[in-house]
Copies of this chain bind each other. A is one copy, B any other.
Amino acid sequence: MTRIKNQNEIEDTGLSSKFQTRTQRIIKRDGSFNVRKTGIPRLESFNLYHYLINISWSRFFLLALLFYVIINLIFTLFYYAAGPEHLGIETDLGTLHAFMNSFFFSAQTLTTVGFGRVNPQNSWTNIIATLEAGVGLMVFAVATGLLYGRFSRPVTNMKFSTNAIITRWADNLTAFQFRIANAFNTEMMDAEIQIIASWLEPADDGTELRKFFNLKLEYARIVFFPTVWTVNHIINDESPMYGKTIEELNKQEAEFLILFKAYDDTFAQTVNARFSYRHDEVVYGAKFKRIIIIDESGKSQVALDHMSDYEKAEM
């Protein structure tokens, strides 16, 4: 199980398939989609805000630093062209000295620190400084906005059971089950699960096509989600899975795509997580162990490190 926060950071830690498969999984175990879109020019598919929100923290800070240096260099060129002596910089200590002190003055203006020892003393330098102060406020507004936007971005840390199981249900039916729990301490309300089963079926032209089917759940929504939820799809005659054997599911490279949504009380909005179980991550003939107990003081307690535990069961 992996923490679903930044799609670009997480490696797929799913189990390697025991079978030689013709297709890769559609949703990786970190929740990202494993689909390649071609035919869109790089420029058209690029969105600056998406990019800056999604990149890793190290890349973000590197870009911020680079941008900080570059924008200061641009203004430094302006100050240098206007004459560094008009900033009160000694020009007889060499070009490098004048350039560097112009650079430092630029940074002091851009960030509005404004120490003042070096300061604009003629109209041109004053005009550049006036502009730079305004530009600095705008630029840092975006940078700091992005920083806080990244920091306060809704994230989830949903634990999914390592395996999904097919278990016995009532007299002569089976059920597809998995478990989900919230590893964070935040409260979640109105949790909702949607499962899309998918497998390969023959197409009209002799090739294979991946088909998608909605699986109806016993409970698709639960009001409160304080502990662990054992999600249950009863495989009755309404289910697309009815009558399918495990061999068929393997041969057809079945994959069960899961979308989890809930209202997170701290982010004060709906959050979501995605996951999937491949056919070789589904255990046939098992039963999840009970993990909610009532302790000595009468308080409900759930052992999340055992949420994947199952025992073999007769079918």
Chain A residues with CB under 8 Å of chain B are 3, 7, 21-24, 26-27, 32-40, 44-50, 53-54, 64-65, 68, 72, 100-101, 103-104, 107-109, 111-117, 119-121, 123, 126-127, 129-130, 133-134, 136-138, 140-145, 147-149, 151-155, 157, 159, 181, 183-187, 189-190, 194, 196, 208, 210, 214, 223-224, 226-227, 257, 259, 261, 263, 265-266, 268-272, 274, 294-295, 297-307
Q: In the complex, are the beta carbons of B126 and A40 less than 8 A apart?
A: no
C-alpha gap A184/B47 in the complex (Å):
7
Question: Given A26-B300, A298-B24, A304-B40, does the pair A137, B133 have CB atoms closer than 8 Å?
Answer: no
On whether the beta carbons of B50 and A266 are closer than 8 Å, the reply is: yes
Contacts of A64 in B (CB 8 A): 134, 138
Tell me whether B37 and A302 are in contact (CB under 8 A): yes
Most buried by B among A115, A147, A186, A196: A115
A15 to chain B, nearest CB (A): 16
Given A147-B142, A294-B22, A300-B34, the answer on whether A130 and B112 have CB atoms closer than 8 Å is no
How many copies altogether? 4
21 intermolecular pairs with C-beta atoms under 8 Å apart: A21-B298, A22-B298, A33-B187, A36-B302, A40-B159, A45-B185, A50-B185, A64-B134, A100-B123, A103-B130, A104-B120, A108-B133, A114-B116, A115-B115, A116-B119, A117-B119, A137-B140, A153-B268, A189-B274, A190-B259, A268-B271
- A154→B272 CA distance, assembly (Å): 18
Residues of B within 8 A of A294 (CB): 22-23, 208, 210
Given contacts A133-B107, A257-B224, A268-B269, contact A47 B115 (CB under 8 A): no
B306 in contact with A44 (CB, 8 Å):
no
Return the contact of A148 from the options B23, B129, B142, B271 (Cβ within 8 A). Answer: B142
Cross-chain contact B123 with A119 (CB below 8 angstroms)? no
The majority secondary structure among interface residues of chain A is mixed
User: Contact between B112 and A111 (Cβ–Cβ < 8 Å)?
Assistant: yes
The answer on a CB contact under 8 Å between A299 and B35 is yes
Query: Do A26 and B226 have beta carbons less than 8 Å apart?
Result: yes
- B contact residues around A210 at 8 Å (CB): 294, 300
Chain A to chain B: the 6 pairs with minimum beta-carbon distance, closest first = A39-B305, A141-B144, A116-B116, A145-B148, A113-B114, A111-B133
CB pair A295–B112 under 8 Å, yes or no, is no
- Per the bound structure, the CA–CA distance linking A33 and B228 in Å amounts to 13
Contact A227 B35 (CB under 8 A): yes
Min CB gap A8→B, angstroms: 10
How far apart are A251's CB and chain B's nearest CB, in angstroms?
A: 15
